[in-house]
Structures are given as C-alpha cells and as structure tokens.
Amino acid sequence: GAGVSQTPSNKVTEKGKYVELRCDPISGHTALYWYRQSLGQGPEFLIYFQGTGAADDSGLPNDRFFAVRPEGSVSTLKIQRTERGDSAVYLCASSLSTAMNTEAFFGQGTRLTVV
C-alpha cells in the first residue's frame, strides 16, 4: 500500500471490554512496530515483529496486551479487560528491516478511549 494504515481511527470502549486494533504495513516491509502515545508524551515502545515472530515484546505493560502478525503482514494489537489508563493513541510503524538502518514509517494511529 501507499502507507501504513491503521483501523479504526477512533475507538471508544467501556472499561472491562476487549478491543482489537489493526495495522496494515507498507507492502514488503518485514519489520512492524507498535507504540503507545499519551498526551504530551513521546511514543512509548510496546512490541516489534520481524516477519511473523515477535522479536521484542518487552514494552507490553502487562499480560492484558497481546499482538499477533500471523502471515507476516497485517498485525493486530489485542487488549483484554481494558482499563481507563489504557486510553492513548496507539501507533504502528513499519520498515524494511529491524536493523533500523532503514527509515520507519508511521500510520495515523488509533485513538483509544476507555470510559
């Protein structure tokens, strides 16, 4: 595709519910990253994939958060039993490789609001 696509752009959910956020990376990009950004802060790393496997999930805050990339392209970030503190913008990025000698391109983000 022309760029990284994230859906939905906005999601409002009730506390305790389950949500899925989708990321469609640039075609041919093997590396995919998820970040979370709170108001007034820089993006905070959550997890990245090289192909289908999660190469580093050290940024996931707890076991309510999980991400998959079953075919090495589209990725889904899943949040169980959502809490109000999960409210943030979730950003996805992709790059040609995880060596990070290549430029990372970001999507427009999904704004998650937990009420």
Partner 1 sequence: KQEVTQIPAALSVPEGENLVLNCSFTDSAIYNLQWFRQDPGKGLTSLLLIQSSQREQTSGRLNASLDKSSGRSTLYIAASQPGDSATYLCAVGTDKLIFGTGTRLQVFP
Structure tokens at 70: 């079953």
Per-residue DSSP letter, 17: -
Q: How far is the CB of 72 from partner 1 (least distance, A)?
A: 18
93 lines the binding site for partner 1 (CB under 8 A): yes
> What number of chain residues touch partner 1 (CB under 8 A)?
27
How far is 82 from 92, CA to CA, in rounded Å?
19
1 lines the binding site for partner 1 (CB under 8 A): no
How far is 112 from 58, CA to CA, in rounded Å?
21
Residue 75's DSSP bridge partners are: 23
40 lines the binding site for partner 1 (CB under 8 A): yes
Contacts with partner 1, residue ranges (CB under 8 A) = 4, 6, 33, 35, 40-45, 48, 55-56, 91, 93, 98-101, 103-109, 111
